[in-house]
Amino acid sequence: MEPLYAPILEAHAVDLASHFYEAGEWAKALTYGWQAGEKALRLYAPQAATEQLTRALSAAHLGQLSPPAMVSLLRGQAYETLGDFERARGDYERALESARAVEDQSAEWQSLIALGFLWTGRDYLQAGTCFQQALELARSMNDPLMVAHSLNRLGNWHLNSEQPLEALRSHQEALATFQRVNDQPGLAETFDLLGMAHYLSGDVPQGTAYYQQAIALFQQLGNRQGLGASLAQLTVACGSDLMGPTLLTLSLAESRNAGEQALKVAREIGSRSAEAFTLFNLGLVSGARGEYAQALEMVQEGLSIAEQIEHHQWLTYGYFNLGVLSFDLLDLASAEPHLEQALALARSIGSRYWIRLVSGLLALVFLAQRDVARAESTLTTVPEADAPPQALGQWLVWYARAELALTNDDPGLALKIVDQLSASTSHLSHLHGNPRLAKVRGEALVRLAREAEAEAALQAAEVAARVQGLRPLLWRIHLELAKLFLAHHRKAEASLQLSTVQEIAQELAACLPQEGLRTQFLAEVGARLPRLRPLTPLRVAKMSFGGLTAREREVAILIAQGKTNPEIAKQLVVGKRTVETYVSNILSRLGVTSRTQIALWVHEKGLLP
């Protein structure tokens, strides 16, 4: 077979490895087994790779040969893809030992990088040590590309340790090196990591731009693993109000499409870790829109995978996600243990990012339970609790402090915190900020008896939440508006707001997969509503449509259909002057000046058949 297929031996490496192994030709069994395993990895067949590389290592053992470090390193990569932490670690450590024994600095560096990346799912201290050693080794070798790759990995470690400025400096230094030599794989890797650095710092527009560059390069290079990772991150580009100052940079449909593509790639290449992460991102986005059945299914599936592969970082994310969903559903008794478990995991891996993010949400749960002491204790035990809000975990901790200030009847402090958080991200967008911040700002202004400003803040929160489709937050904003209107004897407006709360709550309850959850959620929402005699259905309908009567709405629809006043009069069997009066009333009540604007309003309200 060797002479027959000499020009294309790699295509027959599996058969050659098998025959030479059976024949006891250990050196050639090692060589061809190595080639077959490497090819399987390139083809995203990690299970086949482990089988071929295991046979190669067995041949080395039987033939009393010293296998190259790369064989163990490749098998470690295959095990890591399959989610087998212990076997991956064992192979990476053997590769490191072998490389040092023969003073193969290149293999030593690759082993350190691989070990560091593996440890990011379990222990950030271990990961940081490996990446720092890799950087020092690369500098001693005077290899610019190795230095750049090391800087990227160390930068990502800094980011997960909530040191975003150090992370950006490392990635920018790496980017300059890769750009200088036009290293396309290096550029793709760096764009991906810069995207993550900007996302976790709250700058979603810039992060999205970097991810889109990374995706284009990964597609050109045929790097499906990198492509899947970047697509998975784009899943959250449509924003989630509890994850900091995120902004609407992609539509919900675009974000979901990216997530579905990422999930497809992860499953095709057999990457269990990537599959779990993508499921959690999709669950977070769906939950923020109130699509609870879909969100719960995805998060539970992701947790099952994370448990199977014992990926502690993704387990943290999964339990955090369950905490978010339970908090949204007012199921505080379930939210607390989910978040306590997430916090214990975050501490075990030493991730400051996750410790802060989970602590911020846990404090909000305690405040919702009226347990101020535990909320204060949770916030004060956060590492570097007074650090400025440079990353999402810090942002959520400060947001929880604003809510705590409101609970402690200190609206001035709450307003100060919210304004500082808003100012820290004001450069990102002038269109739609974080609606949750605007809501708290409105509540603080209400307490300070600044009614007009409070109403404006709550209206701005309502617009932002509606535009971003954040229905779980939307009903809470309408509830605050109702309370404001009631306090100032604006009963009709308050009644309309409460009707909207109930309507949204019913829609959300319909999305829940179990009757018990639906009943509990609606009961909790009902318990929060102020008692008020409801308006008649006709009055509610009129207020919902700009104050137009049923007849005026009918005229507006006919205008949107392009009919003239005489045509409208004929269809409704009324006089032309009556139609003119209707049109005049419609223009006045809607505050518009043309029939075109009336037509636009009809379309926005969805009144056309």
Residues 436, 514 within the same domain:
yes
DSSP H helical segments within 235-331, as ranges? 252-269, 272-288, 292-309, 312-328
Query: What's the predicted TM-score (pTM) here?
Result: 0.77
C-alpha closest to that of 496 among 478, 523, 521: 478
DSSP H helical segments within 369-470, as ranges? 372-380, 392-407, 411-424, 435-447, 451-467
Q: Is the pLDDT of residue 488 over 50?
A: yes
Residues 456, 496 within the same domain:
yes
CA separation for the pair 187, 175 (Å, rounded)? 6
Residues 449, 531 within the same domain:
yes
Q: What is the DSSP letter of 431?
A: S
CA separation for the pair 386, 398 (Å, rounded)? 9
The token pair at 449 is: 């008896």
Q: Report the Cα 150 to chain-centroid distance in Å.
A: 26
Averaged over 9-22, what is the pLDDT?
91
Give the percent of the chain with pLDDT over 90. Answer: 65
Flag whether 474 is in a domain: yes
Q: Are 479 and 497 in contact (CB under 8 A)?
A: yes
The last residue of a domain, from among 497, 517, 535? 535
Q: What is the DSSP letter of 535?
A: P
Residue 22's Cβ-count burial label (10 Å; 0-12, 13-18, 19+) is exposed
Flag whether 168 is in a domain: no
Flag whether 226 is in a domain: no
Return the pLDDT at 476: 95
Give the CATH number, domain containing residue 583.
Answer: 1.10.10.10
Flag whether 228 is in a domain: no
Return the pLDDT at 421: 85
Averaged over 144-169, what is the pLDDT?
91
Q: Position of tokens 């994370």?
A: 306
Contacting residues for 245 by C-beta, under 8 A, at least 6 apart: 202, 395, 421, 424, 425, 428, 433, 434, 437
The last residue of a domain, from among 476, 510, 535? 535
Residue 422's Cβ-count burial label (10 Å; 0-12, 13-18, 19+) is middle
CA separation for the pair 519, 248 (Å, rounded)? 32
pLDDT class of 36 with cuts at 50, 70, 90: very high
C-alpha closest to that of 52 among 34, 72, 31: 34
Averaged over 255-259, what is the pLDDT?
92
Of the candidate ranges 53-62, 315-324, 425-434, 439-448, the one whose mean pLDDT is the lowest: 425-434
Return the pLDDT at 467: 81
pLDDT class of 416 with cuts at 50, 70, 90: very high
118-155 CB burial, b ≥16 within 10 A, e <16: bbbbbbbebbbbbbbbbbebbeeeebbebbbbbbbbbb
Residues 477, 501 within the same domain:
yes
Q: Is the pLDDT of residue 459 over 80?
A: yes
Of the candidate ranges 133-147, 267-281, 531-545, the one whose mean pLDDT is the lowest: 531-545
Q: Is the pLDDT of residue 431 over 50?
A: no
Flag whether 140 is in a domain: no
C-alpha closest to that of 178 among 221, 209, 140, 136: 221
138, 145, 158, 351, 485 from 182: Cα distances, Å: 19, 11, 26, 34, 61
The token pair at 539 is: 């009055």
pLDDT class of 7 with cuts at 50, 70, 90: confident
Q: What is the DSSP letter of 250?
A: S
Q: Is the pLDDT of residue 246 over 70?
A: no
- What pLDDT digit, counting tens, does each position of 387-413 carry? 777 778 888 999 999 999 999 999 999
Q: Report the Cα 160 to chain-centroid distance in Å.
A: 14
556, 600, 602, 603 from 606: Cα distances, Å: 12, 10, 6, 5
DSSP H helical segments within 43-183, as ranges? 46-62, 69-81, 85-101, 105-119, 124-141, 144-160, 164-181
Residues 500, 447 within the same domain:
yes
Task: Identify the helix (H) or strand (E) that includes residue 591.
Answer: none
Flag whether 487 is in a domain: yes
pLDDT class of 248 with cuts at 50, 70, 90: low
Give the CATH number, domain containing residue 503.
Answer: 1.25.40
One-letter identity of residue 214 = A
The token pair at 9 is: 């031996």
Q: Is the pLDDT of residue 536 over 90?
A: no
Return the pLDDT at 275: 96
Q: Are 249 and 202 in contact (CB under 8 A)?
A: no
- What pLDDT digit, counting tens, does each position of 344-357 carry? 999 998 888 899 99
Q: Is the pLDDT of residue 219 over 60?
A: yes
- What pLDDT digit, counting tens, does each position of 288-300 carry? 999 999 999 999 9
Q: Is the pLDDT of residue 149 over 60?
A: yes
Total of domains in the chain = 2
Return the pLDDT at 161: 81
Q: Report the Cα 382 to chain-centroid distance in Å.
A: 22
CA separation for the pair 199, 229 (Å, rounded)? 14
Other beta carbons within 10 angstroms of residue 381's beta carbon come to: 11
Residues 467, 529 within the same domain:
yes
Please state the three-class secondary structure of 204-248 as a single string.
Answer: HHHHHHHHHHHHHHHHHHCCHHHHHHHHHHHHHHHCCHHHCCCCC
* DSSP3 helix / strand / coil % (the chain, rounded to 5): 80, 0, 20
Averaged over 81-97, what is the pLDDT?
94
Residues 440, 530 within the same domain:
yes
- What pLDDT digit, counting tens, does each position of 161-190 carry? 878 889 999 999 999 999 999 999 999 999
Residues 558, 529 within the same domain:
no
Q: Are 382 and 359 in contact (CB under 8 A)?
A: yes
Return the pLDDT at 441: 94
Residues 471, 511 within the same domain:
yes
The token pair at 305 is: 């995978």
The last residue of a domain, from among 507, 535, 563? 535
Q: Average pLDDT over the chain, rounded to whole?
A: 89
CA separation for the pair 308, 240 (Å, rounded)? 28
Q: Are 237 and 204 in contact (CB under 8 A)?
A: yes
Return the pLDDT at 111: 96
Residues 436, 518 within the same domain:
yes
CA separation for the pair 183, 437 (Å, rounded)? 42
Contacting residues for 583 by C-beta, under 8 A, at least 6 apart: 555, 559, 565, 595, 598
Please state the three-class secondary structure of 361-384 as a single string.
Answer: HHHHHHHHCCCHHHHHHHHHCCCC
Q: Position of tokens 């949107």?
A: 560
Q: Are 208 and 234 in contact (CB under 8 A)?
A: yes
pLDDT class of 430 with cuts at 50, 70, 90: very low
Return the pLDDT at 147: 96
- What pLDDT digit, counting tens, does each position of 568-579 carry? 998 888 888 888
Q: Are 434 and 242 in contact (CB under 8 A)?
A: no
Report helix, strand or coil for 150.
helix
Give the domain range for residue 468.
Answer: 431-535
Flag whether 209 is in a domain: no
Half-sphere exposure of 172 (CA within 13 A, CB side): 7
Return the pLDDT at 531: 76
Furthest C-alpha separation in the chain: 104
Residues 444, 498 within the same domain:
yes
Other beta carbons within 10 angstroms of residue 443's beta carbon come to: 25
pLDDT class of 429 with cuts at 50, 70, 90: very low
Residues 458, 518 within the same domain:
yes
Flag whether 182 is in a domain: no
